[in-house]
Amino acid sequence: MRRPWIGLVLAAALLVLLDAGLPHVLNPYYLTILTRIGVAVLAAVSLQLINGFTGQFSIGHAGFMAVGAYVSAALSVYLGAGWLVALGAVLPVPLARALYFPVPLVAGGLAAALAGLGVGIPALRLRGDYLAIATLGFGEIIRIAILNVDAVGGARGFSLTSAAQPAADLRYDGLGAIYAVVALSVLVIARLVYSTGGLAFRAVREDETAAESVGVATTRVKVEAFVVSSFFAGVAGALFAHSEGYVHTNSFAFLRSFEIVVFVVLGGLGSISGAILAATVLTAAPEVLRGLGEWRMILYSLLLIVTMILRPQGLMGQRELGPLRWLATRPRQRHAAA
């Protein structure tokens, strides 16, 4: 594939078609699962940047999703509903919605990035397992802090309906748009880690001391990875909040963080394709196994253990597939191959 951009444009067109067409083909249950897969993929790929590419071990990713979800939801409920109604008065409604919805996604991402900066600077002084437990701690502190804010519903959860503008529909579950956001985010992360500058992430992962000795500002690189990763976790949280139309802090407890770590390790540390694959399979698995009733989660956990024992390096190891593989190849190697 010489020009991935053409493929991308085609993919975007396809996604818009899907957005309009899928609700006529699939029932809402499948649409919900597909949406959750999209969110899981984005969360997993963003964590891959820290855990897989920079070699730091963060297990508090759900905290940043929570920040993104709640900030974007609060923005939509308290301000966005008014904007949406005002836009809808001058523009056709679908266009007004398409123009509005990137706003909470970016806002959620930025808020999470800020949280990532605040957590990353002190936490990244720690190493290995101490870093892991500190990120877990920060994740839980974020969750419990949100739980105690009454403006976003506290323990009742937070519904995306505005009291001032009850007519404004703040849910956004167009599958094509969601997958477009996920695809764009994955592309940005892939371009970042497989760029020349992105070599710094992998240098830190392979050998921090050696990286430092050749002039890589390791602390800076680690904080950068943390901030970028948190941004996309925030976008994933915002997508989650706006597609479900309701958020509760229970969705962002440490079990959620563990789940994202499982996606990353099971997929293969340092493989974006692996994170996508694992997030997709493991989000779909409990639904596929639903026929087994109460035994399904037992089987799910056994599958997890057996897969890990059979493939300790993860499903994909460090390899990439398809367009990601093309991105992962250094330009010089590409020339050599051609």
Partner 1 sequence: MLDFQQLMQILPQQLVFGVTLGMIYGLIALGYTMVYGVLKLINFAHGDVYMVGAMTGFYVAHALGFAGHPSMVGLLVTLVCSMAVCALLGALIERVAYRPLRGAGRLAPLITAIGVSLFLENTGQVLFGADPKFFPPLLESREFGRVGALSISNIQAVVLATTLLLMAGLEFVVMRTRFGRAMRAVSFDAPAAALMGVPVDRVILGTFVLGSALAAAAGILVGLSNPKIDPLMGIMPGIKAFVAAVLGGIGHIPGAMVGGLVLGIVETLVSGYLSSTYRDAIAFVVLIAILLYRPTGLFGSAQTEKV
Nearest approach, Cβ of 321 to partner 1 (angstroms)? 21
The CA distance from 218 to 23, in Å, is: 47
What the block records as the tokens of 2 is: 């010489």
Nearest approach, Cβ of 13 to partner 1 (angstroms)? 38
Query: Residue ranges of the alpha helices (H) in 148-271?
Result: 175-193, 199-206, 208-213, 218-244, 254-267
The residue among 169 and 287 lying less far from partner 1, judged by its C-beta, is: 287
CB 101 within 8 A of CB 177: yes
Nearest approach, Cβ of 218 to partner 1 (angstroms)? 12
The residue among 125 and 191 lying less far from partner 1, judged by its C-beta, is: 125
The CA distance from 275 to 69, in Å, is: 21
The residue among 90 and 305 lying less far from partner 1, judged by its C-beta, is: 305
The residue among 95 and 292 lying less far from partner 1, judged by its C-beta, is: 292
- Residues ≥6 apart with Cβ < 8 Å to 140: 60, 63, 253, 254
**CA-closest candidate to residue 243, choices 35, 76, 73:** 35
The residue among 61 and 242 lying less far from partner 1, judged by its C-beta, is: 61
Nearest approach, Cβ of 230 to partner 1 (angstroms)? 17
The residue among 140 and 169 lying less far from partner 1, judged by its C-beta, is: 140
The residue among 254 and 326 lying less far from partner 1, judged by its C-beta, is: 254
The CA distance from 61 to 187, in Å, is: 20
What the block records as the tokens of 59 is: 């297990």
Nearest approach, Cβ of 266 to partner 1 (angstroms)? 6
Nearest approach, Cβ of 297 to partner 1 (angstroms)? 4
CB 263 within 8 A of CB 275: yes
Nearest approach, Cβ of 45 to partner 1 (angstroms)? 17
CA atoms within 13 A on the CB side of 17: 6
- Residues ≥6 apart with Cβ < 8 Å to 200: 211, 216, 221
The residue among 261 and 324 lying less far from partner 1, judged by its C-beta, is: 261
Angle between helices 218-244 and 102-123 in degrees, nearest 10: 140
Nearest approach, Cβ of 143 to partner 1 (angstroms)? 8
Residues pairing with 159 in the sheet: 246
The CA distance from 59 to 48, in Å, is: 11
Nearest approach, Cβ of 320 to partner 1 (angstroms)? 19
- Token pair 């997890």 is at which residue? 304
The residue among 42 and 59 lying less far from partner 1, judged by its C-beta, is: 59
Residue 126, CA distances (Å) to 57, 122, 168, 261 in order: 10, 8, 46, 19
The CA distance from 156 to 205, in Å, is: 41
Interface residue list for partner 1 (CB under 8 A): 57, 122-123, 125-127, 129-130, 132-134, 136-138, 140-141, 144-145, 147-148, 209, 254-255, 258, 261-262, 265-266, 269, 294-295, 297-298, 300-302, 304-305, 308-309, 312-313
What the block records as the tokens of 110 is: 């930025």
